[in-house]
Structure 1
Amino acid sequence: MASKAIAGGGQVLNVSNPEVVRVRQLIGGTAEYSSDGWKRCWEEGVTPWDLGQPTPAVVDLVNSGTLPGGDRDGRATTVLVPGCGAGHDVVALSGAGRFVVGLDISEAAIHKARQRAAAAAADGNSFDFVAADFFTWEPPDKFDIIFDYTFFCALEPSMRPAWAKRIADLLKQDGELITLMYLAEGQEAGPPFNTAVVDYEEVLNPLGFVMNSIQDNEVAVQSRKGMEKMARWKRMANPTSLNSAGETQID
């Protein structure tokens, strides 16, 4: 298999791609979150997940009119994009009553995101970029929406409960989580790590998240066709817990 898909189709995210092999070398393949490894990926320009443009599914989502945009008091709907990289999706989601924060652990990624946004003459009043660790960053306010793409699958599976906990901490009680799931299979290592829909459910359901919808990503780039689904989640008033029999129940 060639290391890259057809033009405009993104890169293949498996070991047939030398850049994926290099990413795994930099990350180290350990159970720990390798912040230095991710920083080095951006510093070396080894970012095979970067499409170089907004994700088509994000563009469709914005055009669908199903995203909230502001309220009657003129307050903007706030959106967080963790692991935003070069910020294409941040800019695409912004505007129309939405203020989007792009978060990435890499200063190099954030610098690139700011440069790209400036070059595109994007409205800088409707988004911001922050270089910080998703797992320790403390914003001044919680968010109305969180959008996750190629972030969950990039985390070593043992970190997924911590990911879900941070999502719950950063999202308003009535907020929405949107996950564009990259469902990698047959990976002997990662990133991306093997991922299934049930992996999201196992860590999100106990924290009060309910999947309201899920559908195949019909506009996925060529190299990711048939591997992606978009799910939209809402938080219930009270999270679930386990009863004495170890069964999930609603509090």
Structure 2
Amino acid sequence: MATAVDDVAGAGQQQVLDGSNPVVARLRQLIAGQESTAGWSRCWEEGVTPWDLGQPTPAVVRLVQSGTLPAGDATTVLVPGCGAGYDVVALSSPGRFVVGLDVCETAINKAKQWSAAAAADDDGSRFFGFVAADFFAWEPPEPYHLIFDYTFFCALHPSLRPAWARRMDDLLRPDGELITLMYLVEGQETGPPFNTTVLDYEEVLNPLGLVITCIEDNEVAVEPRKGMEKIARWKRMVKWNCHI
């Protein structure tokens, strides 16, 4: 007999990511007491992936369409915690090479399999790649012009947030930009996702010189997450207000 978890496991579309969702409750069971790689791998193997929309995040599509993202022959982008890699492919273009990074080989294998068709559509050209590695230990050959973070920060235990910020600082070029699509969940006794506020980001990024250059509500968030997401853009410079 199907359970509530069975009914929605693997169907991330239109799911709220908090403890009221039975799939999130199952996610927390799988992650609790597990070494991080093993726990996340079990989630993918069981199809317990409530964050996975099965398509690019609408906010990513809007960012690409806005024309405000860096692009050029040597522009590189990193998407840590990329999962199945939909956003990686959406961000890629002849002017942007995008790397999707995830600690879970199962997720990376899924990303490689479905994205092979996308690469074939570009006459064999590839403007993206995937790497299975630990974000906190992986060392790329060069820092990135742009890093995009969504449901990665809030998936990490709060004790890891200072280390997350240091890695972002290390992986970003001095003139690079960090974009965080923040899922601002509150009232959770545990996680993931863990309770998150804009201040939580600022407390770990500001001391490293990364400040918000603009922040807006995510108007194209999927329905259950509307009003709970903001998009912030960060650079090593003085704050100002802008529109995405």
TM-score by length of 2: 0.88
**Residue 119 of structure 1: aligned partner:** 117
**Residue 110 of structure 1: aligned partner:** 108
8 Å Cα contact 2:179/2:231 also seen in 1: yes
Instruction: Give the distance between the partners of 1:68 and 1:14, measured in 2 at CA.
Output: 33
CA separation of 1:122/1:200 partners in 2, compared to 1, >3 Å: closer, same or farther? farther
**Residue 149 of structure 1: aligned partner:** 150
**Residue 222 of structure 2: aligned partner:** 221
Q: CA deviation at 1:223?
A: 1.2
1:58 is paired with a residue of what secondary structure? Answer: helix
8 Å Cα contact 1:82/1:134 also seen in 2: yes
8 Å Cα contact 1:79/1:144 also seen in 2: yes
8 Å Cα contact 1:173/1:236 also seen in 2: no
The Cα offsets for residues 109-160 of structure 1, whole Å up to 9 and x where unpaired, read as 0010011112344545100000000000001111000000000000111110
The Cα offsets for residues 35-93 of structure 1, whole Å up to 9 and x where unpaired, read as 221121112211010001000000000000001110xxxx3210000000000000000
Instruction: Give the distance between the partners of 2:65 and 2:198, measured in 1 at CA.
Output: 25
Q: CA deviation at 1:15?
A: 2.2
Is 1:232 aligned to residue 233 of structure 2? yes
**Residue 64 of structure 1: aligned partner:** 66
Instruction: Give the distance between the partners of 2:193 and 2:12, measured in 1 at CA.
Output: 20
* Count of residue pairs brought into register by the alignment: 228
Percent identity between the two aligned chains: 74
8 Å Cα contact 1:54/1:89 also seen in 2: yes
**Residue 35 of structure 1: aligned partner:** 37
2:79 is paired with a residue of what secondary structure? Answer: strand
Question: Unpaired segments of 5 or more residues in structure 2?
Answer: 239-244
Structure 1 residues 195-204 or 120-129, which shifts more?
120-129
Q: CA deviation at 1:22?
A: 1.2
Indicate which of 13, 18, 22 corresponds to 1:18: 22
**Residue 93 of structure 1: aligned partner:** 91
1:177 is paired with a residue of what secondary structure? Answer: strand
Letter in 2 for 1:205: N
Instruction: Give the distance between the partners of 1:8 and 1:28, measured in 2 at CA.
Output: 21
Instruction: Give the distance between the partners of 1:8 and 1:115, measured in 2 at CA.
Output: 19
2:126 is paired with a residue of what secondary structure? Answer: helix
**Residue 181 of structure 2: aligned partner:** 180
8 Å Cα contact 1:76/1:98 also seen in 2: yes
TM-score by length of 1: 0.86
CA separation of 1:115/1:79 partners in 2, compared to 1, >3 Å: closer, same or farther? same
**Residue 84 of structure 1: aligned partner:** 82
Instruction: Give the distance between the partners of 2:199 and 2:48, measured in 1 at CA.
Output: 30
Letter in 2 for 1:58: V
Q: CA deviation at 1:220?
A: 0.3
Task: Report runs of 4+ in structure 1 exceeding 4 Å deviation.
Answer: none
Instruction: Give the distance between the partners of 1:111 and 1:93, measured in 2 at CA.
Output: 19
Letter in 1 for 2:23: E
